[in-house]
A and B are shown apart, each in its own frame.
Chain A
Amino acid sequence: MKIDRRKFLAGFSACVGGGAVGSMLSPLPWKVMDDVAIWTQNWPWTPVPQDGRYSYVQSVCALCPGGCGISVRKVKSRAVKIEGLKDHPAGNGGLCPLGLSGLQYLYGPARVKSPLKRVGKRGEGKWQPISWDAAISEVSQKLNELRARNKPHSLAWISGENKGILAGLIDRFLKVYGSPNVLRDSTAHDAIDQAAYHTQGQRGTVFWDIENADFILSFGAGLMDGGWPLARMNGFPKSADGGKTLIQVEARLSDTAAKADLWVAANPGTEGVLALGIAHVMIRELIYNIDFINRQASGFEDGVMGGDQVLQGFKSMVLEKYKPEKVSGITGVPVDAIFDIARRFAKSDKAVAVCGRGHGRVAGCMDEALAVHYLNALKGNIHQPGGVFVVADPDYVRFPEPGMDKIAEYGLGQTRVDGAQSEKFPNSRYLLHRLPEIINTADGDSPVQALLVSGANPLYTIPDGKSVKKSFDKIPFIASFSPFMDETAVYSDVILPDHTYLECYRDIVSQGSMDGIVVSLAKPVVRPLYNTSHLGDVIIQIAKALGGYIETAFAWKSYESLLEETFADNWETITSSGYIRMNPQIPGTVATSFNTPSKKFEFNINAGAPEAPFSSAFEKIAMEGDAQNYPLTLIPYDSIRLAGNYPANPPFMTKIIDDTVLKKTHGCIEINPATAKQLRLSEGDAVKLSTPRGEADVQIHLYEGVMPGVIALPRGLGHTAYSEEWGLYGKGVNVNDLMGPIEDPVSGFNMAWGIRAKLTKI
C-alpha cells in the first residue's frame, strides 16, 4: 500500500486523537494537573517552618534599661516569639515594640559572627575573621604597651553597662589596670539623681512612684513614648474605667501629650520656669505642704548669714522672681493655666512632678531638675507613696579589694579625661559628651590612646557626629565588643563580639519601685548561634593575658561561676523566679533619711551662696545659634517606634514607622502649617535643614501638633551601619549630627534640648 501524504496525515491525526482519548481515559492528565497545582503552591524558596515541641523560656529584656520580663516561645531549639512575661514586676506582662522584635537582633543580618580584625582603612568595612586567642592578644598587647609606656590612664572604656556584675567587672578592670576613664552616657536620671543629692544629701537613684500616684505633672517626660518601664503605661491613660490624671508640659504634641488630660504647650526650654511659676502660686496661696516645709525643710524662709546680710530663701526668691505674669511671658502658658495647674497639683491626693525630655536621653539642665524637685518638696511627697524616692543602688556586686601595682596606682591618680568627678564637676560621674572636644583640642597625642566600647554606640549617640568621628580618628586603637555591626564597631580596629542577651546569663537591674529595685536574670534562650563570647568571660581572658595583679584580680573561672557566686543565697530564687527585689522602700522615713548638714530637705539656691546648684537667674535653658541666621528652633523628639539609642531599630520597628516620619530614605521634619506657609513650604517638599553644626536633606511634614516656629526631628534615624538588609541603612537624619552639646555650668551635663535652625527649599 502506498502511503501518500494525505493518508499519513489522516493516520497521524487519528493516532493523536486516539492518544488524546486514551489519555483522557487514563489518570495521567488529571493526576499531573493536580500535582502541578500542588507544586505551584509549594515553591522551594517559600520557607516551611519546622514544627515540634513548644516550650517557653522566661527571661528578661536587655534592650533598654527598663528590664521588662519576657517569655520566649520556642519550637524545638528555635526561638520563634518574644512576649511579655505576666507577673514580672518590670513591664507587668506588657512589652514595647522593641522588646517584641528581639529575635530580629538574634537571628538578623547585623550580627558579628566571629572576632574580626580590620584589614582595610578604618570604617571601610574590610575584615578578616580571627580566632578568639588572636583577638584577645590583639587587645592585651595594646594594653600592655600602654602600661609599658607608663600611660595606663590613656585607656578609656565607653560602657553601656551601668549596673550589675558586668559594670562591676569593667570598673574593676580599669581600676587594676590603672585608668580612671570608665565613660558612660548620662541620662536625665543623672541630673535628677544629682538634684536629689543637692537637696537631700542622698546618693542613689530617684524614682517617681507613678504606680501609686493619682496625679502626674510631667515636664516633657515621654511616659508613653517609650524608654520608660512599660509597667508605667499601665494605669494610664484615663478612660471609662479609671486611670490617672496626667498633665503634660511639652512644645510638641507627643503620644504622651495626646493621652494627657491636659496638654500644656510651653515654649521649649522653659518647662522648668513653668515649674517655678507653679511653685509661686502654691506658695502665694498657701497650698503647699506647710507641715513638711516647716518641719523638714531648710532654706525655704530667708535666713541670716551673719552680720546684716540676709540669705534669700526659696520662698521670697520664687515670690519675687517667678510671678505668674512673668512666667507666662517666658513660657507662653496663660496665667490662668498656671494658677489652674498649681491648684490641681496642690489639691490632688497623691501628686508627683516628673521631668526628663522624651526618653530622657539628654541629662539636661540642673536648674530644671531642681525646679521640678522643689515642686515635689512643696507638695511634701518626698519619700511618700505616690511621690519621690531616692533608692540606694543595689550593692550585691561586692568584689574583694584588688591588689594594685605602681603603674595602676599612678594611672588612677591622674584626672579623668572627660573632667567628671573633678573640682569643677565633683558630683557628676561621667561626662561622655565632653570627650570628643577634649581629644580634638589636645596638644600632641590624643589623651585616649586606646578605647574599648561595649554596650554603646558612641559614634551614633554622642552629639555633633562630625567632631566625634574626628576625635576617634585620633585614637590609635579602638576595640568593640558589640554583637552587632553598629557605627562604632564598623569604625574599630578589632571586634570581639559579645553574645546577645538571648544567648547567655546576665543580671539586669531595673528601675525601682516602692517594693525595691528589681534585679532580673537573663537566661540563655538558645545556644549561642555564632562564634561569640560573653563579655564577662572576655574581660577575664584579657586580664589573664595581661598577668600580674590584673590576672589576680580576675581569678574567676568564668562569668557564670562569678554570677552564681555573687548571688550566693539568692541564686536559687533568681534562677527559679527570674528576679529578686532589693532595697524596698519604707514610706515616710523622711526625717532619718536626709543626709544634708541640716538633716533637712535643703532648698539650695544661690542667692548669696554662689556654690549652690540652683541659679535664681534661671529663665530659659541656653540654645546654640543666632536667631538672625537661624530663625527656627529644631527640637529632637523620641518615639516608642524608634529605638533612639543602642541598638538601632530592628526591621519590625522600622516597618511601623509612619510615612510622615520616614519616606523611602528621606526623614521628615515636622513643621506647623502656619510656619510652613510663611516659609512657602508645603507637604512633601524637599528642603535643606541647616544648623550651626551641620546640614541635612529632609522632607516637609505639616503637623498641627508642633509649635509654630519650632521644627521637630525624631531620634533614631540616620544610621550608617548595620547591614543593608536590616532596612535602616542610610535612612533619615541622625539628629545628633545636627546638634552640639551645651554644658550645664553646675554639673557639666549636656543640656542641649534644641538648636537654632533654618530650612531652605531645594
Chain B
Amino acid sequence: MSISDLEHAVDPNLGAADHPPQKSSGWVVFFCFMIGLVGSLIVGWFLFPQWLYSEKHQPIDFNHSIHMDNVSDGCNSCHFFREDGTFSGIPDLSACTDCHQDVIGSDPEEEKFVTEYVAQDKEVQWLSYFRQPDCVFFSHAAHVTGAGMSCESCHGDIGYSTHSKVYQENIISGYSRDIWGYSISRFGKPGEHDGKPMKMNDCAKCHLEETGSKGACFQCHK
C-alpha cells in the first residue's frame, strides 16, 4: 500500500470514483501464482534434495558380496555381538588383518587398503550409513537376539552389495540420508532391498505395532 492508498482508506470523502476503473488483472495474478507454485515445487521436490545432500565416497570401495561368500557366519562374522552383549558395529582394522595382511585378490581397492591402511596400521575412517545422534541408545541385542529380527529387516541387503554406495550427508544435520530414507517425502514404502528409515517416528511406529507401546523415552535415549 502506498501513502495515497492509506489516505483513501482513512478519508471517507475520497471515493473509488477518483480513480479510473480497474481492468481485471486476474490472469496475471494466476499466471504469476502458477510460476511461483511450479517453481517452488520444482525446487522443493527436485533441486532441494540435491542441494541438501553432499556426496561422499567411502575410503575403500568395499565389496560386501565377496566377503559374504568367504565367511561362515553371515553378517555375524564381522559385525558380531561381544560377550557382554554389546554390538561391535563396523569392524576395526584388526578384524581385517587376519586375512588381509598381504594382498590376496586382484581388486585394486584391496591393494589400496593393504598398502594405505594395513601396512601403515591406520584405521579406515568408514562412513556409517546408519549412525544415530549421540542421544540415541540402540540395543542390537534386544532386536536381534531378543526379538529375533534379521539384519536385513532394517539394513536391507547391503550385505550383498558389490560396491559401497555413495554416502549422502545431510549438510544441515550432518547425518546420513539413510536415516531419513531415500524418499524425500517419505511417502510410500522403501524398496525391498533398501534399508528402513530410522527416524524416531519409525522406531516408535514399529514398536507400537510389535509391542503395543511406543516405549518410554529411556528405552532408546541416553
Residues in A lying within 8 Å of B, measured CB to CB? 6-7, 10-23, 25-28, 31-32, 34-36, 38-39, 41-42, 46, 48-49, 51, 53-54
Partner of A11, one of B29, B52, B82, B84: B29
Q: A11-B29, A39-B173, A54-B84 are in contact. Are A26 and B34 (CB under 8 A)?
A: no
Give 19 new A-B contacts, CB below 8 A, not counting A18-B35, A18-B39, A22-B44. Answer: A11-B31, A13-B29, A15-B35, A19-B37, A19-B40, A22-B39, A23-B43, A27-B44, A27-B45, A28-B43, A28-B44, A31-B180, A31-B184, A34-B173, A35-B173, A38-B133, A38-B172, A49-B134, A53-B82
Measured CB to CB, the closest approach of chain B to A667, in angstroms, equals: 39
Is B86 located at the chain interface by the 8 A CB criterion?
Answer: yes
Task: Please tell me if the beta carbons of A42 and B40 are within 8 angstroms of each other in the complex.
Answer: no
* A-B contact list, 17 entries, CB within 8 Å: A11-B31, A14-B28, A14-B31, A14-B36, A17-B33, A18-B33, A18-B37, A18-B39, A19-B37, A22-B43, A23-B44, A27-B44, A34-B180, A39-B172, A41-B135, A48-B134, A49-B134
Task: Please tell me if the beta carbons of A15 and B33 are within 8 angstroms of each other in the complex.
Answer: yes
Task: State the interface size on chain B (CB cutoff 8 A).
Answer: 39
Measured CB to CB, the closest approach of chain B to A73, in angstroms, equals: 12
Chain B, range 109-164, C-beta contacts under 8 Å to A: 133-135
Measured CB to CB, the closest approach of chain B to A4, in angstroms, equals: 9
Q: A15-B36, A21-B37, A27-B184 are in contact. Are A35 and B48 (CB under 8 A)?
A: no
**Complex alpha-carbon distance, A564 and B34, angstroms:** 85
Chain B contacts of A31 at CB under 8 A? 48, 52, 180, 184
Is B88 located at the chain interface by the 8 A CB criterion?
Answer: yes
**Complex alpha-carbon distance, A48 and B36, angstroms:** 42
**Complex alpha-carbon distance, A51 and B180, angstroms:** 23
Chain B contacts of A38 at CB under 8 A? 133, 172-173, 175
Chain B, range 158-211, C-beta contacts under 8 Å to A: 170, 172-175, 180, 184-186
Q: A15-B35, A18-B37, A35-B172 are in contact. Are A42 and B134 (CB under 8 A)?
A: yes
Task: Please tell me if the beta carbons of A10 and B40 are within 8 angstroms of each other in the complex.
Answer: no
Chain A contacts of B25 at CB under 8 A? 6-7, 10-11
Chain A contacts of B133 at CB under 8 A? 38, 41-42
Task: Please tell me if the beta carbons of B36 and A19 are within 8 angstroms of each other in the complex.
Answer: yes
Which 9 residue pairs of A and B lie closest in terms of their CB atoms, listed nearest first?
A: A26-B44, A18-B36, A22-B40, A18-B37, A19-B36, A35-B172, A18-B33, A28-B44, A15-B36
What's the count of A-B pairs with C-beta under 8 Å?
115
Partner of A12, one of B32, B48, B82, B184: B32
**Complex alpha-carbon distance, A18 and B28, angstroms:** 12
Interface centre among A25, A34, A38, A48 (most CB of B within 10 A): A38
Task: Please tell me if the beta carbons of A42 and B173 are within 8 angstroms of each other in the complex.
Answer: yes
Task: Please tell me if the beta carbons of A14 and B45 are within 8 angstroms of each other in the complex.
Answer: no
Q: A10-B29, A22-B39, A27-B44 are in contact. Are A36 and B172 (CB under 8 A)?
A: yes
Is B218 located at the chain interface by the 8 A CB criterion?
Answer: no
**Complex alpha-carbon distance, A18 and B134, angstroms:** 39
Task: Please tell me if the beta carbons of B40 and A18 are within 8 angstroms of each other in the complex.
Answer: yes
Measured CB to CB, the closest approach of chain B to A83, in angstroms, equals: 16
Which residue of chain A has the shortest Cβ distance to B171 in the bound complex?
A35
Residues in B lying within 8 Å of A, measured CB to CB? 22, 25, 28-41, 43-45, 48-49, 52, 82, 84, 86, 88-89, 133-135, 170, 172-175, 180, 184-186
Partner of A18, one of B34, B86, B186: B34
Task: Please tell me if the beta carbons of A26 and B134 are within 8 angstroms of each other in the complex.
Answer: no
Task: Please tell me if the beta carbons of A16 and B36 are within 8 angstroms of each other in the complex.
Answer: yes
Partner of B86, one of A42, A49, A54: A54
Chain B contacts of A12 at CB under 8 A? 32
Chain B contacts of A28 at CB under 8 A? 40, 43-44, 48
Chain B contacts of A10 at CB under 8 A? 25, 28-29, 32
**Complex alpha-carbon distance, A54 and B39, angstroms:** 53
Which residue of chain B has the shortest Cβ distance to A49 in the bound complex?
B134
Chain A contacts of B185 at CB under 8 A? 27
Measured CB to CB, the closest approach of chain A to B93, in angstroms, equals: 12
Measured CB to CB, the closest approach of chain B to A37, in angstroms, equals: 8
Which residue of chain B has the shortest Cβ distance to A42 in the bound complex?
B133
**Complex alpha-carbon distance, A11 and B29, angstroms:** 5
Task: Please tell me if the beta carbons of B45 and A19 are within 8 angstroms of each other in the complex.
Answer: no
Task: Please tell me if the beta carbons of A20 and B40 are within 8 angstroms of each other in the complex.
Answer: yes
**Complex alpha-carbon distance, A365 and B60, angstroms:** 73
Measured CB to CB, the closest approach of chain A to B168, in angstroms, equals: 13
**Complex alpha-carbon distance, A14 and B89, angstroms:** 52
**Complex alpha-carbon distance, A27 and B42, angstroms:** 11
Measured CB to CB, the closest approach of chain B to A17, in angstroms, equals: 6
**Complex alpha-carbon distance, A18 and B31, angstroms:** 10
Task: Please tell me if the beta carbons of B40 and A23 are within 8 angstroms of each other in the complex.
Answer: yes
Task: Please tell me if the beta carbons of A11 and B28 are within 8 angstroms of each other in the complex.
Answer: yes
**Complex alpha-carbon distance, A41 and B29, angstroms:** 42
**Complex alpha-carbon distance, A27 and B34, angstroms:** 18
**Complex alpha-carbon distance, A10 and B175, angstroms:** 41
**Complex alpha-carbon distance, A22 and B48, angstroms:** 13
**Complex alpha-carbon distance, A25 and B37, angstroms:** 9
Measured CB to CB, the closest approach of chain A to B68, in angstroms, equals: 24
Which residue of chain A has the shortest Cβ distance to B28 in the bound complex?
A11
Task: Please tell me if the beta carbons of A32 and B172 are within 8 angstroms of each other in the complex.
Answer: yes
Measured CB to CB, the closest approach of chain A to B182, in angstroms, equals: 12
Chain B contacts of A7 at CB under 8 A? 25, 28
Which residue of chain B has the shortest Cβ distance to A47 in the bound complex?
B134
Which residue of chain B has the shortest Cβ distance to A12 in the bound complex?
B32
Measured CB to CB, the closest approach of chain B to A596, in angstroms, equals: 58
